[in-house]
Amino acid sequence: MKCNVLFYMLILTFSLFYSVILCAQDDNIYDNSEYFDDGGIAASKNIVKLNVLSAANGDLAFMYERVAADAFAIEAGAGLLMPFYYREFPVNYLERTDISDPGFGYSLWLQPKFYRRYNAPEYDYTGILIRYRHYSQDNRIITYKDVVLNYGIQFLFGNRFYFNYDIGIGIRFKSGDGIPIKERGFDVSNVIIPMGLKLGICF
């Protein structure tokens, strides 16, 4: 119960923090779409992406990003957890991994993104990543909940393809039958530095 309360308090705190940042930003967001005719690409507000790094870790996750305002977008996704697991890169040597021989599972992703210099969805942004994973192992359930402060960059290459890279620092909350009580919830070893690399197409 204490773990869930702390988890949701962190989400609320991060949301309020970034709301203040967003309100304090300079409204002079650069938009160079008026200088050229790109066939409507600059007006595209939807991107579908594959998270390449998470797939290498065993989480085959697809993302959908929707532009909601000039400097704001929402990214949400879902993934299929494959029957293998590798630690996220870069390796966190403090982490005590509880996943060794998992079965299939699922993941859920949510990230509000605040673009700093150009109109969304291009160039650098900050985001709040919330990630949930539900593993099945030896007839037991293990769940990971991550809350991460992200910094990333996303840019268009070719006609409609996007490259998206981000890195952040956050906290991992663990729960489940396979985790000793003393390792559940928050511990210093649960501090994580995840990276993401996504390839997408806009429409």
Residue 31 lies in a domain: no
> E strand or H helix at 143, and its extent?
strand 140-157
Digit-coded pLDDT (tens) for 165-175: 999 999 988 88
**Percent over 70 (pLDDT), the chain:** 68
Going by the DSSP 8-state scheme, the letter that residue 120 receives in this structure is T
> E strand or H helix at 87, and its extent?
none
Residue 113 lies in a domain: yes
Residue 37 lies in a domain: no
pLDDT of residue 25: 47
**Domain extent for 148:** 2-24+45-202
Residue 129 lies in a domain: yes
Going by the DSSP 8-state scheme, the letter that residue 6 receives in this structure is H
CATH of the domain at 139: 2.40.160
What's the total number of domains in the chain? 1
Digit-coded pLDDT (tens) for 98-107: 788 889 999 9
Residue 38 lies in a domain: no
**What distance in Å separates the CA atoms of residue 171 and residue 153, rounded to the nearest whole number?**
22
Residue 188 lies in a domain: yes
pLDDT of residue 158: 84
Query: Would you give the distance in Å from CA 93 to the centre of its chain?
Result: 21
Residue 30 lies in a domain: no
CB atoms within 10 A of CB 9: 10
Residue 4 has pLDDT above 60, yes or no: no
Contact 172, 192 (CB under 8 A): yes
Digit-coded pLDDT (tens) for 12-34: 555 544 444 444 444 444 454 44
pLDDT of residue 27: 47
pLDDT of residue 41: 52
Residue 7 has pLDDT above 90, yes or no: no
Digit-coded pLDDT (tens) for 109-134: 999 999 988 788 989 999 999 999 99
Contact 127, 150 (CB under 8 A): yes
Residue 39 lies in a domain: no
